[in-house]
Structures are given as structure tokens and as C-alpha cells.
Structure 1
Amino acid sequence: MKTRLKFLFLLFIAFGARAQELLPFVENFTKSQYNGDNQVWSIAQGDDNAMYFANNHYFLRYDGVNWERYALSNNTIIRSVFVDGDKVYTGSYNDFGYWKRVAGKMVYTSLAVDKKYFSESDNEEIWKIFSFGNKLYFQTFNEVFILDKKTNDVEKVKFPYQISYCYVAGNEVYVATVRHGIYVMRDTKFIKKERWLAIEGDVIHNIESFKGKIYVFTKNKGIFVEESGELIAWNNPVNNRLKNDIVISAKFVGSDVLAIGTGLQGLYLLNLKNNTYRNINRENAIKNNAILSLAVDKENDLWLGLDNGIAHVEINSPVEVFSDNSGIVGSVYALYTMGNGFIFVTNHGIFTYRDNQLQPIPNSQGQVWDIYKHDDRFVIGHNDGTYVFDGTELRKINTVNGGWKFLKSDVDGVYYQSNYSGIARYKDINDLSKYQILPGFTKPVRNIAQNKPLELWAADYYRSFYRITFDADFNVRKIENISRLNGIENDYGVKILKYRNELLFLINKTWYTYNSISGKLVKDPVFNAAFKNISDIIPVDDESFIVQNDELLYVITQSGNQFKWELIPEKYYQGKVIFENTKAYKSGDVIYLNLDDGFISYKPKGNAAKQRISVEGFYNGDLITDDTSIKYNQPVELHVISQYFGFNRPNLYYRLNESGDYLRVNRGHLILNNLSGGTQNVSIYSFDGKRYVKVTDYKFYVNVPWYFSIWMVLIYIAVIAAIFFFYYRWNRFRTNQKLELKEEELKHQREIIEIELSRQNELNMQEYEKHILELEVQTKSSEVAGKSLSIAKQSEMIENIEKILDSEVNIGKLKSEIKKVIKFNSLNKHEWESFESNLSQIHNEFIKSLSRRFPQLTSKDIRLCIYLRMNLSSKEIAPLMNISFRGVELHRYRLRKKLGITADVNISKYMLGI
């Protein structure tokens, strides 16, 4: 019940209030933005394309990026502004003059103060400035000052009566008096328009010439047109309305538009081709209904000077806007044209807009997703089911809820509907109560497409997309999760585009097509090369589509093998695009796009306007010139200025010093921070969808910090040179020290070597002496051995002689002699002593070692050990020890026991081992 009452309340509001219209885009500027006063009395555009405003106490300049505010020295009110060449003329209280731009600032020069054109008793204001011929006219309500542009002479002419304004129309200057009709001013003479009686008694607020006719705009009587020398009321439907709305200003724009500014109902835009009009006022676009001044810029767009603020109305833009300022409509999800109006569906229900009236359709409240037009009927996908609207009545046809897309098959002639719980099929568009639900596939399906019989492609609301094949009775044959089968993990929000009968899939900013032979997705080389970093795709028709790239929308058309990108500027939809729920509807050559507060219409223009971009740099609020000293690491402000304010204003990018990414220029305003020293080059680019095209460069110089100045660099060089010098000296000193130390070391090494050589020599000498001694020992050993052998032989000989002598008993004398000899030889004591002495010297170490190990050995035992070490036999040892052979054997036996060795050990080898 509450929902129904709420809807009835909305319905009452919709009928009770004037509905929103499809209107030109309006950009409003409040006094807090331009930092000025309320009223804007006059507007003009300069040769530099900047807009100039007479704003009460202030003179304003706007270049599309920055507002500048100036005031006269006496702070008087500025009533009028007019541009002639590079001078901007203004009129104020008892003064008029011109402004020129010098070093980024507007500088004023008075033409009246020094000449004393006004006396102290005068109380005049220059309400209008205009040009006629070679002269400029500065008009008050009582007189006009005429400046000859060649001689700079000023002539003062008094009007015959108090006037409202002067107007130039055709080849005449018309002077509109307050109560005495209209005069034509020729030189300094005034000729009354005697036959223009219809407008006497009313205030004239404009006189315009259009297509050879003179139009007179009155404050309260409407518009008159001159016919055969007389004024007659203009035959136009809007004329009666204007009589109550107080006409203040008017301009013919182009060949078929008349703009009329009123004091009570804002702006009227009249289409002179079909005699229709649109009213732009506070209810739908502008912030104030009192339009004090009106101007046409070089794009044929309008600038409105309001009683409180400024408005820019893009009447020449291919984009128009339908915005819901009341909140009744809500977010629009789909729309269609319906006769001369529209039907659109929103999260609040279904609405029609016909005859300038917004009407919610009863019993349609709730979330609505989709519209499909068939003949004169509309199939509507609603949260509660599927509806049909025939232009008069809304009927619920079935309970298939959440119909996101209603698709007419180009392949098999039936209709498919994606919805909250899967896919429905309709065979008869005229009887939607009969339908089939695809069995075994209960998923929320956002989008569907088809290019082959008995096959559907379905994109899940959240992630994945599917290839579904079925039979003629809509029974599922196979359901394939294509993204999973191809190993694509990030498959959220899959987009399907049917373009020229080919299906393309946008998955995570990569384009794919399906290869039916391999059953695999294949990256599409053409689309991946042409459309990188695309976040959304919006189908339009078989020959065009819209892509979203970097939050910007581009209309894509194809010519041959080339894609053409046409930007829809962001200002028309900024922050209003319903992501993944944006739909495009094309009617004729106009494309409609839904937004979260309405929709826009766009009529592609084709060729983009040529751009002329200028850049102004400011440092500490002053224009940067060649003489500007910019400190290191200080911010620099750049104004990237276009000649356009409306649709043709480009979307620009920049790079600093030709490095880094291309960054967007936000509304023509750049702040550069952390700048290094030296020449800085800011390059400005436009983007045509395929490439960045440089349009201009701006260079300026940033001072290097004091610690990098030329003097400091010289100091650094000197310090570095000194450091290197002292380092060289210190290094040289250290090198010399090292050399001295090295020499000292070498000297010591030589001494050490000499000592070592001397020691080595001594060692060699000792070795030599040792060798000599060893030779001597060997010689003595040989001698000992020889003598030992000789003694042994002698002993043997003596023994043999004794044996012979003993056998020869009869020979007495011989025996006696031989015995004497033997006795002599055997008793050669000196020879034995020498033998024993040599024997002890040769085996001294052996004797010491033997005595240490076996201290119980006697000298006789030691002598036996020496003979054994000399490898002498018992037979050879016996005479040396002067004992018998058996005595030697007995002695050897006793020696074994003392040494503790057994009979199986070779005693001579044992002695050699000691």
C-alpha cells in the first residue's frame, strides 16, 4: 500500500510540474568559481578566444582554464564590454577605456579620465559599446561618445531623448528611446522611424537583422518584424509567452536558431525550421531565470550573463542531455524513441516523455532492465516479470523476472531472453505467454548472443561465459564453460560483441574469438591491436560500437581496414555511466546512451575540429617569460588553453621531458612539482584512439639550486681539484714512504738473504766438512776393515806357522826364529791401540745409542756388537778379540741374552737398526 501511494505521489508530481527535456549541455559558473559579483551585464569574446565579462565591480576574463578578476582603480561598476582587435573596451561610471594583456595580466588604459569628457556633475554610465564603420560608440542613456579608430579623436553626441540602447542592424544604427519611439542615427543626426508605431510605449531590448528582415524585441509586447516599412507582431507560437516573461536580450545563431533571454523564464531556443522551441530555465539547467546579457562565441554556442552567475549553453554541440533533477526518474537502464518522445526504463519503473510531459506508467514501479521494440509495441524486462507496453496500456505477460536482454535471432527466427535464472525462448513474439526455459542452466545471465543455429553464447552476471548447444526442442545437448576450458582464471564480467556477424569476447581487456574446429578461444589480432586497455564494450549496431577507454567513451566505426575513433567528451557523462549496464540505442543517425540520472543523445560529427593549443606558464602567480627566475624544486602552474569551450574542446595529455606515461590534462590545468634544474619541456598531445599526436611544446627554465650555481660549480671544481691535488701529493708522499719502506724492506731482505746465504754457506761448509769427515770415516773404516782383515790374515798366518812349526819339531833353530817373529808381530801394542781408537771414533754414535739402550753391556760386548754391525763372521772376529772361534760363538750367545733377542733374529741386521 505504501509503495502504491508513493507511486501515485510521484505520478502527481510528474503531471504537476514541467518535465525535463532533452536539452543542450549547460555548464554553470557560480560567483564563488569566478570570484566576482552577482550581475553580469555584458559579454564578449576576444581575438585570443578568451571570454570577457562586465561583472558589476569586476572585469572578468576566462580562457577555459582559469578565471581572472580585475577592477578599476576607483572600483566603479563596469556595465559594458566590447572587443576590437587586441583591445577589450569597457564602459563604467563616467569613464570608458580599454584593456590589453601584458605579461599575463590585463592592464587598463582610460580614454576619458585625462580628456575630461565627463564633468563632475555628470552621472553617466557607459551601458553599451559597439562598432559601426571605422568608429567605436560608447553609449550612455543620454549621450554617445564616438571614437574614430584612425585618428583616435572622440566626438560627443547627445541623444534627442533618453534612450535604452543603440542597436546595429543591417547597415543602420537604431536608437531606441524610452518613450518616443525608435530613431535611425546617421552621423550625428537622428531620423525617427515614423511607421514603427506598434512598439511605442514599450522598452526595446534588441533589434536584429536576419535574412533581410528587421526584428524588434520588446520588453513586454513580444517580437515584431518589419514588413513593408511597418512593424507587425511576429507570427510564432512563442511570441505570446514572451509577452509575460520580459525579453531582455536576443541573438540569431546560425541559420535556424533564435536565442531569447528573458527576465523571468530563462532562455528560449527557437528552431526556425519547424517553429518549435525549448525553454532552458532554473528548473532544468541554469541557476537563475534572469538573463541580463547574451553572447555567441566562435563555436556558435551561447554565453549567458545571469542575475547571479554565468552559464555556457552548447547549442551547437552534437550532444544533448536529459537529466532528472527531481529524482523522480532515477537511473535509466534502457530507452527507445516513441513517436516524437521517448520511453525509458529505470530503477523506479517505466516512464514516457511525450509532448514535453514526463509520465510514469502506472503499475510499473520497481527495477526495470531492458526494452525491446517490435512494431509499435515494447517488450520490457522487469524485476517482476516480462511486460508489454503498446503506447497506452502496460500488461504483464509472464513471470520470467529480471529480463536483461531480449534478443531476436538472426539465425533461426525465434527470440531469446536472458534473465535472473537462465535463458527463455519465445517462438511467437505476439504471444509471449508461451515460452521455454533452457533446462539444466539456472544461472543469472546478463548477455546472450548467437551466430549459429541451435547454439547460444551466454555471459554469466558475475563470471565465466558458456557455449550452449541444444536441439530443436530446446533440450540441452552440451554446456561448456569456455573460459574455464581455456584456462582463463580472471573471467569476471565477460563482454560479448557481435560485430559483422562475428562474435568477439572481451575478457580481462583481451579480445578473443572462438575457433569451432579446435574448440578453443583464439586471441583476435585485429581487435587486440586496435583496442587495448578497453574496460567496457557497448554494441550499437552491425557497423558501430562504443568502447570505454580510460573512463572515456569512443564511438567506433570502420572504413575499410581502419577503425575510426570519435570521442564523446567526458563532461557529458562524467561520473554518470552505469558500468556494465550501459546500453546504446540508435535512431537514425543519433545514438542514445543511458546514464544514472537520465540519458544523452549524440549525433556523430565525422571530422574533428582542428585544434589550436596554447600554453601559459605561471610562477608565483606571474606569467613565465624569458626573464622569469624559477627556483629549484618550486611548483609551476601551466594553463593548457584551447580555442574552444564546447564540444570541440579536446581531451589532452602531457609528458614532461618526453619521458614517462601520457598523463591526462585535467580541465587544462597542470601543476608541476619537484622539477629539477635546467630546461623543462612539457609536450601536449591529443589522442585519436590509436596514437598520441603531439600538438605543441612548452619550454621553460628552472634555476639550478645555489649549490649547483656556476660559482658553486667553480668552487666544487676548485675543491675537487684541490682534493685531487692534495690526494696526489698525499698519495705521492705515501708512495714515496712505501718506496722507502720497500727499499728498507728490500735492504733487510738483502741482509736476511745475505745472512741466510752465509748460513747456507756455513751449512754447505758443514755439509762439506761432514762429507769430508764421512769420507774420512769411510777411509778409516776401510783402513780399520783392512787392518782388521790384515790382522785377521796375520793371525791366521801366525796360526798356520805355529801349526807348521809345531809339526816340525826337529828344526830347532827355524822354529825358534819363527816364534820370535810371531811373538813380535802379535805383541805390536801400538797397532792394536790405533785399531781400537779408530774403531771407537767410527762407531761413536752407535756406541752411545747402544750404551743408552743397553747399559749392562761391557766394553767387550760393545766391541763384539761393533764387529757384528760391520757384518764380520765369528771366524773373522775371533783373532780381533784374541779368542777362539768357539769363544766368539759363546760370546754371541751371551750377547743375545743381554739384548733380549731370539735365535731367529739376524743379529748383524739388528745392530744396523740401532
Structure 2
Amino acid sequence: MRVAAIIFLILFGRLYSQDLPPIRNFTPADYGAENQNWSISQGSDKRICIANNRGLLVYNGSSWTLNPSPNNTIMRSVKAIGDRVYSGFYMDFGYWERDVYGILRYTSLTKRLNVDMVPDEEFWTILEIDDYIIFQSLDRIYAYNPSDEAVRVIEAKTAFTKGFEVDGILYFQRIGHGVFKVENGAEVLVSNHPILLEQEVINLFGTQEGLLVLTSDSGFFKLSPEGLISWEIPANGSLLASRIYSALQVETGGFVIGTISRGVLHLDADGNLVRQYDQLNGLDNNTVLALFEDRDGNIWLGLDNGVSYINPESPFTLFVDKKGEVGSVYAVRSHKGFLYLGSNQGLFYKPVEGSDEFTLVEGTKGQVWSLDEIDGTLFCGHHTGTFVIDGTQAVRIDEASGTWKVSRLPDHPQWLIQGKYDGLSILEQDGKYWKVRNKIAGFEHSSRFVEVLDETVFVNHEYKGIFKVRADSAYYNAISVTADTTLIGYDSGILKYGNALLYASSDGIFRYDPKADLFAKDTTLKTIYEKEKNLSGRMHVDESNNSLWFFGNYNIYVVSPGNLMGNPKTLVIPLTEKERNGIVGYESLGVQPEVGSYLIGTGSGYMAIDLNRYASKDFNVTLSSVHFEGRESQSGLESMAEISRAGEFSHWQNNLDFSFFTAEYFPFRAPLFQYRLEGFYPDWSSWSENPTASFRNLPPGSYTFQVRSRIGDQLSGNTADYAFVIGRPWYSTRPMWAVYALMLVLAGWFIHSQYRNYYRKKQIRLLSRKQRELDLARARNEQEIVKLKNNQLREDFRKKSNELAASTMSIIKKNEILNRVRNQIHERFRDTDSIQPIIDIIDQSLSQDDDWEMFKEAFNNSDREFLSKLKTAHPELSPNDIRLCAYLRLNLTSKEMAPLFNISPRSVEIKRYRLRKKLNLERDENLVNYLLTL
């Protein structure tokens, strides 16, 4: 065992750097169940069925579905046969079938057939032999015949380990008794060799020489009539160092073996270890509980923690630098028996044959930009200059500045042109060695992409455009330098292909027209740009078959030779930028010695593509379920429709969800879906990985849902469709339309009657309104007359007031004049006796009441009610008091009233005071205000 372990470690060390096919891992979080997966099978619809701790897992290539165990126990076994999926649990076995809605429904055979079971039975294996379905537990074997629903039981004298089917014969092992087979309904001992008594048999395989027995700890044995002998194969060291749990023989004749702690061992038919898959090179878990090969050659792994599948026959294999020593690969080349990787950490090599690890070429540590093979010599463009690579050695021939690439110089085989960090330089061959001859003077720009066409050197600069450099005949000096700034783009590049100069960027593919001296969009390659809107400027030519390679976001495009001038024949390789894990703008292509074999540099190694294995394959898209939901449903409960016939939904069941799938399992080639709804959305949707489509609030009508899929550039062989009708609401049916017509007639008659009544009433209202208008006009006329009279009265009153004011002022003026005259007489004439008669006349005139009577008459004309109200309110007032009240109502001052009374203003104040007492006014009450408000 120690020797075997040493051998295994040696083999494992050599296999560490091997190329591996793509591996797809699913975690419990991905599939929504528990970690352990015990058995795997594939249904007639190509869906993968897995026995999980929680129940039956189904994967359709896009989504997972969990069908919980009916008795809430661990599902240990599963086998898809026809339209049924048989499964075994704790104390139960039966089958699943899809109903008309596409949902798996479980039928328990133990309950339906009243099978009497041994306590604590679990069913670990399900086989199909002849017309029987075999369910095997550790205690019994149950043979179920679906045609007559009969079950036959084979009892175990000692525990069964596992059942096997070889060439239509049922084999099983009894611990301590050997290997048996069932023949004519009876068990027959096949071998009781001590190894078969002691070790668990993992699987049995049929060969021309007899049975091939795989044990858990001792590897393979050949069982023939001569006995049990060990099968001596190169992989025995790996087998003996592993604890084996599961195994299967693949269609190609090899074997896939699952171990407890070392992942999966892949052996060819001769027992050579082809590859090992474990956590170091891609698996999520090293314990493999179940193995299954699907119809496309994918190997499915039921792990102790998760699910994985591997495609050993994939045209793609990967080398991933797990140690991080190689770094990101910018150039890859196979040359003279060595494989070279130029990365950001240096130039690495290993022999093409074998699985040795990559080794750094001494002296090349640092950034490598290119590997160019020219006439058998390999040149390395490096950050520190240019190297010539010879086997495992590197010779620096230029260290002036960094070198982007080395190219041929047409018509000058003795010279090569270099694209440098700071311009262009010429290499010259001196015997069998190369050396730098000169730097082309007059051009100092960085020259990553350099091509020579008709003696003109084209240099593409991503930020400055395309330079056209014309040098002298010896390429010492640049005679002229012009720049085409119409083509400036990040991630752009130029390439000479045959006699054509191509420019590619995210704006498209252009071809140089020498006559017009400009780049124009290439019409023959436009289909590539139409498919890929973000094309990398990095192009490559495979000189062995003159094919042209383009890199896009979603695909790699290989243009076949001979068709470029007409309709190009393009191979589309569906590898997205994410799946390639490449360095955008620095995509590298290496041609392998084998025809059709290529290498593409990645961010952590390389990807190998074998176009000989790359072939299109027919596939179909399947509609898996149709859900409908009523927008008026208060509970929000969804329902399912039968997918086998046209659907009929009520008007409120107008929210529909469709699920579909393409059961193809190609890593790097996930199916894309496109759908439309005829009758509502006539145009196809955009391509998407989403395997569902939803429509909300569909109006009544007839519809057909259609879906198709695409893998790479190939469409599915069918278009799945589903016709359905959204019914009209009850108020939009034909009987209701008849009711609506009758209601319309009745409504017309009713409206006519209403209109007739309306116009009659309107006429009455019109006559009534006219009468009211006449009455209103009459009232307005009368009002106008009254208004005119009132205006006349106000005018009369105004005139009377003016007369009263004038008379009052006249009396005041007259009395003032008389007083002044009397005073003047007293002052000037001392002899008063002679002028006394004049004074008497004046006094008599001042004391007469004529003025008062005239004033009183005028006052009564203007305010006739005041005096009567005053006498009524205060009958005790004297005539002088009434006269004072009249003057006060006119708002005359004491000074103005004094002449009227022929007294002094002081006396007027006294009269006012006495009047207040007679009127019984309060101390703070204003006399004039009181008289004005009376």
C-alpha cells in the first residue's frame, strides 16, 4: 500500500497541470435542497432527476425543481424509465408521473400493492431488467412488473450491499457469502472468492473475457470461470490509494470512478488514468456518492455536498493556474515540441506531450506581449525588449525599449520590423542570428499594431488614430507620416489578411481601400458586426488554413478561407467574454500541431478548443408549465393550465406565466430563449437566459404563445407554442348584446318621450319667462319713475338747503355789519345824543325776529321733521332754545351764532350750557351729536 500511495502521489503531481474539460457545479443554495445527493437518472424529456435528502430534484438545463419526499424521508435512489421516474425512500418505493399540468405526482407502490415490508428498509438501488423494475434494499429485492402490477420478493439471508445489471442479468452481493445472480427466478452463486467475501463490490461490468469487478479498496478484478484475478492496469496506484464509493462505464469504453475523498478518477478502456477531478481542479466536493452519464456524454456527480457535471468529450478544455505562478496569459504558442505561455509574469514553457508543470524561461521575468513565429524562429515581445526563444532558453536581441510585436517586412526577408514602445525598428539577420539594425527615425509613437502594405507601414494607435509611415528604401528614416484620425477607438486593431488590411473596433470592421486611401466598412464581414455590437480589435490569422478569428462579447467568429470575397462562411463559437476569462483587447490565439486544435489565453491560464469535436447538435425547446392567476382573486392563489390542449380562461384569469426549457447541458453554451405572443406582441423578444415569460392584464381575445431557443448560433429544431383564449366578461356575451339592443330601443323610446316632454315644458317655461320679463320691465319702469322723483326731491332738498345756508349766512353777515356800524358810531362820535336815533334803528333791526322767521321757514323746508321731533322730545324748551337747537343742528359755532342772537360768544356758550341741562345730557355726551341724531 505504501508503494501504491507513492505511485499515486507521483501521478497526482504530474496531473496537477493537466487540461481539464469544463465542470459545472451546483451548490445546495443553487438547487434549493439539502447537500447530499444519492442517485441520478435522466428522463425521456432529457431532464435530470436526482435523489436528494429532501426529495426528487429535477433540472431542465435552466432551473431546478424540488419535489419533496412524500413521507418526508431521505430519497436514496431514482431511475427514470419511460414517462415514469421511480424512486426509493425509507419504507416506501413508487413512481412519479407528470399530470396534464406538467407537475410530477407520486404514486406509492408499497401502499397501492399492500407490500409487507421489513422494518427500517431503505431502497438504495433501482434497476430495469427485462420487463421488471428492481427495487433493492439491504434486506430484500423487490421485482415489480408494471404490466400486471405484481411484485416478487427475494429475501436476504444476509444483507445485500448493492444490485447490478449486466447484460440483462441481475447480480448482487451478500456480505460474507459472495456474489450471486438471479437465474430462472432463483439465486445462483457466481463467486465466493475471499476478496468478494471481505470487500464491498462497487460495480460489475461485462467484458468479452467475463465480469469485471470493482471493489471498494482493492481496485479491479476479472471474474472468469478460471477464478478471480487482479486486473493489472496503470491506474492501480490511484485506485489503491482511494476509497471507492461509486463507478460507471461510459459509452466510450472507459470508466469513471467516484471516491470518498479524492474526487473522480477517469480511466480509459485500458485502465490508464486520463484525468482526475477534485477540489484542486474544479469540483466543489471530493466525496462522490453517485455517478451518471447522460445522453450527451456528460458525467453527472452526486456529491456529499452539491451536484456537478463534467463533459469529458467537450471541445473545450481548461488549464487553470491554481498556484498563481503563471498569471494572466497575453500570448500562447506551440513551437518545436514546447508549449509557451507569455504572461504578465514572464514566459513559461512545458513539453507539449505529457503533463509537466510550466516552468519560467530564465531571464524573461516580466510582462510578455507577443510570441511571433517567423520562418521557424520564435520571437518574444517583452516589456524589456525582444527575445529569441530556443527551447528552454531565451536570448535577448534588443533591450532598447519594450517590444509589442515582431512582423515580417514584405519583399525584404532579411529584415523584420518591430513595433516598439517608442516607434519602429528593424531587425537584421546576421547568419543564423538576429540583431537590431536601426530604429526608424522620424516616428516616435507607440506601435502596438504594425502592418506593412505596399511599402507603407500602418501603425494603429488607440488614442491617436492610424498612422501611415512611408520610409526610405532602406527603412532608416520616415519620409512622411500622416494620421487618419477618423478611426480612433479604444480596443481597436489592424491586421493584414492576404492582400487586405482590416481594422476592427467596437464601431465595426473596416477594409483599407488603397485607391481612395481610406478605410471603409467591410460589406462581406458585416454579418459578424451585426451579431456582435462590441467587437474586440484583436484579430488573429491561422496561417495553416488561412482562417480569420474575431473576438466578441458573446462569441468567437472564425471566417473560413476562400469565401471572404463573396459570402463569408463563418463558424460561431459560443464563448462569451466572461466564460473565456480573457484579457479584453489582448486576446491571444495559439495554433496547436493537431489540425483544428487551438489555445486561447485566459486571465489564469488558457483554454483549448478542438474544432474537430465541435459540432452542431439538434435540440428542442419544451413548454413545461402554464400558470394563470385572476387579478380579482382575493387569495392570490395561482392555478395551472393543461399544456397538452388549448387553454380557455375567463376574462379575469388574464395574468399568465409560461415556463419552458431546453434540456441541453453544455458548459459555456447555455441556451437562450426568445418568445412572442401572437395577437398581442407580434415581435420576438430579445434573447435571454430567463426560462420564463409573464403577461399581465391581457384583454379578451385569441392568442398563441410561441417560444424558441438558441445555443450558440443554432436555433432549436422546433418552436413550442400554446394557443389559448381569454373569454369575454358576462356583460360582453351575445345574449347580453341582444339585451343591450332591446335596452337601446327602449332607451330610444324613453329618450324620445323625455325630449317631447322636455320641449313642452321648455315652451311653458319660455312663456312664463317672457311674462316675468315683461313684469320685470314694468317694475323697472316704475322704479325708474320713483328714482326720477327721488332725484327731483333730492335736488329740491339740495336747493332748499342751499337757500337755508345762504339765508343764514346772509343774516349773520347783516348782523355783523350792523354791529360793526354801531361800534364805529360809538367810537367816532362822542355826542351820542345826536346819533342815538341811528343806534336805536340799528338795535331795533338787530332785535327783530324777521330774520328768525325767514330762517325758520327755510329750515323747515330742508329739515321739517326736526323741530317737531324736538318739541315732542322736549316740550319744555323755549323758542330761544329751539332756535339755538336749530343753529346747532346746522353745526354753527358760538362765534357764528352770536350775531344771530345779537349777543356775545360768551353768552352763546352760557345758552348752550343751559340747553344741555334742559336736555338732560350726561357730562360726556356731545350736544351737537345728540341734535344731529334726533
State the TM-score, normalized to the length of structure 1: 0.71
**Equivalent position of 1:609 in the other structure:** 617
Displacement of 1:602 after TM fit? 1.3
Counterpart for residue 449 of structure 2: 447
Counterpart amino acid of 2:526?
N
Per-residue displacement from partner, 1:299-334 (whole Å, max 9, x unpaired)? Answer: 011100001000011112111122234544332212
Q: Report the more deviating stretch, 636-645 or 282-291.
A: 636-645
Alpha-carbon distance change, 244 to 529 in structure 1, aligned in 2, over 3 angstroms: closer
Q: Secondary structure, in 3 states, of the residue corresponding to 1:443?
A: coil
Using a 3 Å threshold, how does the CA distance of structure 1 residues 131 and 327 change in structure 2: closer, same or farther?
Answer: same
The alignment of Structure 1 onto Structure 2 pairs a total of residues equal to 721
1:33 CA displacement: 1.0
1:724-739 equivalences under 5 Å are: none
What secondary structure sits across from 2:111 in the alignment? Answer: coil
Of 553, 564, 571 in structure 2, the residue corresponding to residue 566 of structure 1 is 571
1:818-839 CA distance string (max 9 Å, x none): xxxxxxxxxxxxxxxxxxxxxx
Q: 1:384 is matched with which residue?
A: 384
> How far is 1:428 from its partner?
2.4
State the Cα distance separating 1:401 from its structure 2 match: 4.1
1:174 partner SS: strand
Please, which moves more after superposition, 350-359 or 43-52? 350-359
The equivalent of 2:661 in structure 1 is 640
Q: Which segments of 5 or more consecutive residues in structure 1 lack a partner in the other structure?
A: 1-14, 745-914
Change (3 A) 1:627 1:324: farther
The verdict on how the C-alpha distance between 1:98 and 1:343 changes in structure 2, with shifts beyond 3 A counting, is: same
Query: Is the 8 Å Cα contact of residues 23 and 321 (structure 1) preserved in structure 2?
Result: yes
Match of 1:824 in 2: none
* Per-residue deviation, 1:615: 2.3
Identity of aligned residues (%): 23
1:547 to 539, 545, 550: 550
The corresponding residue for 2:460 is 459
Match of 2:233 in 1: 236
SS of the residue corresponding to residue 47 of structure 1 reads coil
Query: In the superposition, relative to structure 1, how do residues 104 and 209 fare at CA in structure 2: closer, same or farther (>3 Å)?
Result: same
Q: Describe the SS at the equivalent of 1:151.
A: coil
**Structure 1 pair 585/173, CA: closer, same or farther in 2 (3 Å)?**
same
Distance 1:598 1:629, change over 3 A: farther
Which structure: larger Rg? 1
Does the 8 Å CA contact 1:343/1:351 hold for their aligned counterparts? yes
SS of the residue corresponding to residue 406 of structure 1 reads: strand
- Note the C-alpha offset of 1:112: 0.9
Q: How far apart are 1:555 and its partner, in Å?
A: 2.9
Q: CA RMSD in A?
A: 4.0
**Counterpart Cα distance in 1 of 2:160 and 2:358:** 45
Deviations 1:400-432 (A, max 9, x none): 544333323464323333232222322229534
Mapped contact 2:552–2:576 kept (Cα < 8 A): no
Higher mean C-alpha deviation, range 667-676 or range 461-470: 667-676
Which residue of structure 1 lines up, in the alignment, with residue 49 of structure 2? 52
Corresponding residue number in structure 2 for 1:140: 137
Distance in 1 separating the partners of 2:279 and 2:70: 35
Matched, 1:208 2:205: yes
Of the structure 1 ranges 164-173 and 276-285, higher mean CA displacement relative to structure 2 is found in: 164-173
Residue 722 of structure 1, CA deviation: 9.4
Give per-residue Cα distances to partners, 1:661-704, cap 9 Å, x unaligned.
65112154445567666445444455699897884143354858
Note the C-alpha offset of 1:200.
4.1
Per the alignment, do residues 489 and 193 of structure 1 end up closer, same or farther by CA in structure 2, a change over 3 Å counting?
closer
Preserved CA contact (<8 Å) 1:66 1:639: no
Looking at structure 1, the residues matched to 651 and 420 of structure 2 have their Cα atoms a distance apart, in angstroms, of 63
Does the 8 A contact of 1:464 with 1:493 survive in 2? Answer: no
Aligned partners of 1:676 and 1:702 also within 8 Å: no
1:591 corresponds to which of 598, 604, 618:
598
Match of 1:167 in 2: 164
Distance 1:633 1:110, change over 3 A: closer
Aligned partners of 1:450 and 1:457 also within 8 Å = yes
Residue of structure 1 equivalent to 2:292: 295
Cα deviation for residue 186 of structure 1 reads: 1.2
Displacement of 1:516 in angstroms is 2.3
**Which amino acid letter does the alignment assign opposite residue 599 of structure 1?**
Y
Rounded to whole Å, the distance in 2 between the matches of 1:20 and 1:318 is 18
| Greater alpha carbon shift after TM alignment, 257-266 vs 650-659 | 650-659
The DSSP-based 3-state class of the residue aligned with 1:129 is strand
Within a 5 Å distance, the mapping from 1:869-880 to structure 2 comes to none
Structure 2 length as normaliser, TM-score? 0.69
Residue equivalent to 1:311: 308
AA aligned opposite 2:469: I
**Corresponding residue to 2:494 among 475, 493, 496:** 496
The offset of 1:276, in angstroms, is 4.4
| Amino acid aligned to 2:522 | D
Q: CA deviation at 1:127?
A: 0.7
Q: Distance in 2 between matches of 1:388 and 1:79?
A: 61
Equivalent AA in structure 2 for residue 397 of structure 1: I
Partner of 1:398: 398
* AA aligned opposite 1:566: L
The CA deviation string for residues 771-801 of structure 1, in whole angstroms up to 9 with x for no partner, is xxxxxxxxxxxxxxxxxxxxxxxxxxxxxxx
Is the Cα contact below 8 Å between 1:266 and 1:291 reproduced in 2?
yes
Residue 418 of structure 1: aligned partner: 419
Letter of the structure 2 residue corresponding to residue 603 of structure 1: D
Pick from 325, 344, 348 the counterpart of residue 345 of structure 2.
348
**Is the contact between residue 648 and residue 725 of structure 2 (CA under 8 Å) also seen in structure 1?**
no
**AA partner of residue 173 (structure 2):** A
8 A contact 1:632–1:702 mirrored in 2: no
Matching of residues 252-267 of structure 1 within 5 Å: 252-267=249-264
Match of 1:665?
A: 688
Unaligned runs of 5+ in 2: 1-11, 630-637, 768-934
Equivalent residue, structure 2, for 1:532:
530
- TM-superposed deviation, 1:280: 0.8
Worse overlay, 638-647 or 295-304: 638-647
Counterpart residue type for residue 24 of structure 2? E
Match 1:38 to one of 14, 35, 47: 35
- 8 A Cα contact 2:209 2:224, kept in partner: no
**C-alpha distance in 1, partners of 2:224/2:682?**
66
1:553 corresponds to which letter in structure 2? Answer: I
- Which position in structure 2 is the counterpart of 1:576? 581
Report the Cα offset of residue 610 of structure 1: 1.1
In 1, the alpha carbon distance for the partners of 2:336 and 2:398 equals: 27
Aligned AA (1:366): G
Provide the C-alpha distance between the structure 1 equivalents of 2:429 and 2:651, rounded to a whole number of angstroms.
75
**1:687-836 paired onto structure 2 within 5 Å:** 695-699=718-722, 701=724, 703=726
> Residue 663 of structure 2 aligns to which amino acid in structure 1?
S
Matches within 5 A, 1:610-625: 610-619=618-627, 623-625=640-642
Distance in 1 (alpha carbons) for counterparts of 2:409 and 2:468: 16
CA distance in 1, matches of 2:742, 2:438: 91
Superposed CA deviations along residues 466-513 of structure 1, whole A, max 9, x for unmatched, are 2323233213455454633xxx36554433243344222235534332
- Distance change (3 Å), C-alpha of 1:397 and 1:497: closer
User: Where does 1:300-339 land on structure 2 (aligned, <5 Å)?
Assistant: 300-337=297-334
SS at 2:30's partner residue?
A: helix
Match of 2:504 in 1: 506
Tell me which amino acid in the other structure corresponds to 1:608. Answer: S
2:107 to 106, 109, 112: 109
Shift of 1:98: 0.3
Is the contact between residue 565 and residue 689 of structure 1 (CA under 8 Å) also seen in structure 2?
Answer: no
Q: 1:592 to 1:654 in 2, by over 3 A?
A: farther
Shift of 1:707: 11
3-state secondary structure, aligned to 1:255 = coil
User: Does the CA-based 8 Å contact 2:619-2:664 persist in structure 1?
Assistant: yes
Rounded to whole Å, the distance in 2 between the matches of 1:610 and 1:350 is 42
- Cα shift at 1:445: 2.2
CA distance in 1: counterparts of 2:421 and 2:670, whole angstroms: 42
Write the distance in 2 (CA, Å) between the matches of 1:562 and 1:155.
66
Maintained 8 Å contact 2:329/2:342: yes
Q: What is the distance in 1 between the residues matched to 2:518 and 2:470?
A: 16
In the other structure, the counterpart of 1:880 is: none
1:88-99 paired onto structure 2 within 5 Å? 88-99=85-96
Match of 1:150 in 2: 147
